[in-house]
Chains A and B, each alone.
Chain A
Amino acid sequence: MTLALQAAGITKRFPGVLANDKVDFDLARGEIHALLGENGAGKSTLMNILYGLYQPDEGQILVNGQPIAITNPHDAIAHGIGMVHQHFMLVPPLTVTENIMLGQESVLKASRALGQLALLDRRGAAQRIRELSQQYGLEVDPDATVRDLPVGAQQRVEIVKALYRAAEILILDEPTAVLTPQEADDLFVIMRGMVKTGKSIVFITHKLREVLAVADQISVMRGGKMVGHANPADATSESLAQLMVGRQVLLQIDKADPHPGQVVLKVSDISVRDDRQHMAVDGVSFEVRAGEVLGIAGVQGNGQTELAEAVTGLRHPVKGSMSILGHDSTHATPRHVIEAGAAHIPEDRQKHGLVLSFSVRDNLVLCTYYRSPFAHGVSINFPMLERNADDLIRMFDIRAPGSDTLVGTLSGGNQQKVIVARELARQVKLVIANQPTRGLDVGSIEFIHGRIIQARDKGAAVLLVSAELDEIMSLSDRIAVMYKGRILDIIDAKTASREQLGLLMAGVASRQ
């Protein structure tokens, strides 16, 4: 078997960090090679080096056995390396054709002498895109505007974009993060089809289930080093997680049966508009009881964000009513909601969860600073703030040099721990957790999941919003699936299957 791509002894240093430490990586022709690792393990650095976005400090890259220099993406493309970035590199107002040919535009032959001012051959390019999309089963409409396409279709555009550049080696960076389980399965079929024609694929992910389902070969990185290789036939989720984290990890949280008590949050038939005045939530009703977790599953952008904002008082419903512990909260302000005993872990921790330019200490009292014991009248009790910060940093294992460290300088996992500490250390009766572990590594996820279940067992009602099906299934007692602003069904988590949830997330109602 020949090697399509070889990285030998790659070392990359950033100020204060050794991002890649003598990393070796071999990609055989015609294989799907999964690259596993936590955030900060060095996967992205390695791939960005292969794609020419970074220059390695040491080491060598070989394509088809020939050592090559890749100083920019142009070189990578010229050597047949294509990359689909986690955050799509598409220009929203341009058409699919324009996006795909950008940088390698086809022009009419007669005008070629004009160089970059030659006449674009849109029709010819669209024709080639159609051929490619047929050949690999990647359905795209060349004339559509990218802005109007759903994420799944945008991803197909990204893949066609790489194929259009005659990529033989495809790097897919967390391609399934934005897909429903069904869409992910479709993608795996496409990937299988591509390797059959001799292409090679590097598949970056942290979802163990997918790795076992689709990869031919698995490499695991941790702390900038390549720590192991595995064959999917011999590996298990547990063994891979252990390789990734470096210790035993609880993948499936151990939780006792729920003991639902009184109704804490009652939402009756509410409708909420989004910023563009579209009806994002359209007549939704549910209840969450003390001591249970209600999971809201759904592909992102189906109204979950607006629903969570409505419940926490950040956005007002245009119809319907809500109550917390029997008190009407339909038009409550966020502070009212907090004082009624609610905790909110917002979707975007940097934008809505923290003041990045404030210290850890100040961020930990953002919703309690005005009350005893942190305030006396108009003055703030700073020693108390300090003590509170020291306690929480210890209890929640926040890795920060000190309580006066600016939150913006912490890693994502530690930022999220600051929020979780602030929200769950209080006496709360209702927890609204929106994407509580997005972008976090396995270790942090394990910790935050444990805290949420702990809050449940202490008698809080938990409303969990997540696009990660694994998270929903592992934490929830009941699961509501949102699609286009409506709740299609609420099912018992014990009897729910991935397939059933996946179909509901795709809008196929299947009441059993």
Chain B
Amino acid sequence: MNQQTTSPARAIGQGLRLKGRWWVTALVGLMLIVVLWLLLNLIIGGQCDGPCVVGALAQTLRVATPIAFAALCGVMCERSGVVDIGIEGKMLMAAMVGYAVNLFAYQALKDSMGVVAAGNLSRWLAMFAGVLAAMVLAALHAVVSIEFKTNQIITGTVINILAVGLTGFLYRQFLAEHLPAGPGTFPIINIPILSNIPIIGPILFQQKPLTYIMLITVVVIQYVLFHTPWGLRTRAVGEHPRAADTVGVNVYKIRYINVIAGGLIAGLAGVWFTLEAVDVFNPMMTNGLGFIGLAAMIFGKWNPFGALLGALIFGLGNGVTSTISIFRPDIPSQLPQMLPYLLTVVILTGVVGRATAPAADGTPYEK
């Protein structure tokens, strides 16, 4: 009743009883995209027509893939009450392991199976291995922060530093030079029929496999969190572990499995860099996208769909930025790169409202 000043967007929303509906957020987002497109055309002098817009949006979804995976990893961990800022490290580790396995498996297999089959098999093997590497780091995080009840921020930081050091070392030792050619990244998969739909087809259905896996993962985690016993227990454990304990829910088990499953998802984010984006590994190549994923998670209020939306906004910033730099090389690229962050601030304060973390997030459970 004595609320402080409300933003116009929220006031309109309240008037129409729309507050808190997901599609209101989506609608506002859509409007912002249109405004953005108009602004973009103003900057680059009306050169961004149909194909350019489609290209930018396809690029948006591409770049949003690792961010969304990272955010989903955060959702899994933090909904069960474990803060995970080690996503970046897990991604980096997965990226390197994925790259190395892809390369060496291909070298071992290509003579016996043929180039195409060996490439396909080694890429999937590489994905599996990269994900496994991230899960090992996640298991380490789980043991130290759940079993030994350390400060989870510090554990996460340690994992990040560990991954930077380890991948940097291994890179210099084995991957820096004199490498044979690898099999390359995943090819684009055109989904039959759907990829021929104008506009939507090229954006949504002409992508590489990890992007499709990401979209499926969002739906799966949304289902698991809000429509299954496991999800109910996870949310209860993240909010009030003692309450869950008193009805016989095993708090430690829930947290272990969620953190390690989060590691799996972070691994998918990592292998995106070396199996889907580019065919090389560079030290520190994840470039802070794990942390941006955490921002997307907070933006999405710890919900999978919200996290995807947050990731898309960051991806959109990237899409717009690259479009601008194509048409207007004279504009310093740092300026448009600020866009997604500005957008986040505006949307967080005006439309989405305050985000509240799960109550027991970051607190080890003492029986």
Contact = CB atoms under 8 A, between A and B. Distances in A.
A associates with B = yes
Interface of A: 51, 53, 72-74, 77, 83, 85, 88-94, 98-99, 101-105, 107, 114, 116-120, 161, 165, 273, 277-279
Given A102-B236, A103-B248, A91 B243 contact: yes
Nearest to A108: B227
Given A91-B243, A103-B247, A103-B248, A117 B233 contact: no
Given A91-B239, A102-B233, A119 B1 contact: no
B233 A89 contact: no
A26 B113 CA distance: 76
Contact of B232 (A120, A161, A278): A120
A94 B359 CA distance: 12
Nearest first, the 9 A-B pairs at minimum CB distance are: A74-B248, A103-B247, A105-B229, A89-B243, A116-B230, A91-B240, A89-B246, A91-B239, A91-B236
Contacts of A102: 232-233, 236, 243-244, 247, 249
Nearest to A116: B230
B2 A279 contact: yes
B240 A92 contact: yes
B248 A94 contact: no
Contacts of B10: none
A165 B247 CA distance: 9
A118 B228 CA distance: 5
Given A91-B236, A101-B232, A120-B232, 14 more contacts: A73-B246, A85-B246, A89-B246, A90-B243, A91-B243, A92-B239, A92-B359, A99-B243, A102-B244, A116-B229, A117-B229, A119-B228, A161-B247, A277-B2
B4 interface: yes
B11 interface: no
B245 interface: yes
Interface of B: 1-4, 224, 227-230, 232-233, 235-236, 239-240, 242-249, 359
Contact of B242 (A83, A89, A165): A89
A69 to B, nearest CB: 15
Nearest to B235: A94
A277 B248 CA distance: 38
Contacts of A120: 227-229, 232
A117 B243 contact: no
Contacts of B4: 277
Given A73-B246, A277-B4, A98 B239 contact: no
B235 to A, nearest CB: 7
Nearest to A53: B246
B195 to A, nearest CB: 31
Contact of A104 (B227, B235, B243, B247): B247
A277 B236 contact: no
B250 to A, nearest CB: 9
Nearest to B358: A93
A54 to B, nearest CB: 10
B230 A277 contact: no
B2 A89 contact: no
A58 to B, nearest CB: 22
B42 to A, nearest CB: 41
A interface majority secondary structure: loop
A92 B242 CA distance: 13
B228 A72 contact: no
A184 to B, nearest CB: 23
Contact of A98 (B230, B232, B242, B248): B232
Contacts of B243: 88-91, 99, 102
6 contacts: A51-B246, A77-B248, A105-B229, A107-B229, A117-B229, A277-B2
A116 B240 contact: no
Contacts of B3: 277
A165 B248 CA distance: 11
Nearest to A106: B229
Contacts of B240: 89-92
A40 B241 CA distance: 25
Contacts of A116: 228-230, 233
Given A89-B240, A273-B2, A277-B3, A72 B248 contact: yes
B233 to A, nearest CB: 7
A92 B243 CA distance: 10
A120 B224 CA distance: 10
A84 B1 CA distance: 34
A119 B227 contact: yes
A101 B228 CA distance: 12
A323 B236 CA distance: 48
A277 B2 CA distance: 7
A77 B249 CA distance: 12
A89 B246 CA distance: 7
A89 B228 contact: no
A104 B243 CA distance: 13
Contacts of B230: 116-117
A98 B243 CA distance: 12
Contacts of B246: 51, 53, 73, 83, 85, 89
Nearest to B254: A116
Nearest to A111: B228
Interface centre among B230, B235, B240, B246 (most CB of A within 10 A): B246
Contacts of A117: 224, 228-230
A277 B354 CA distance: 15
Nearest to B230: A116
Contacts of B242: 89
B237 to A, nearest CB: 9
Nearest to B245: A73
A100 to B, nearest CB: 9
Contacts of B224: 117
Nearest to B367: A53
B58 to A, nearest CB: 32
A101 B229 CA distance: 9
Contacts of A99: 243
Contacts of A73: 245-248
Contacts of B1: 278-279
A117 B224 CA distance: 6
Contacts of B2: 273, 277-279
B228 A93 contact: no
Nearest to B234: A116
Contacts of A119: 227-228
Nearest to A161: B247
A278 B244 CA distance: 31
A119 to B, nearest CB: 6
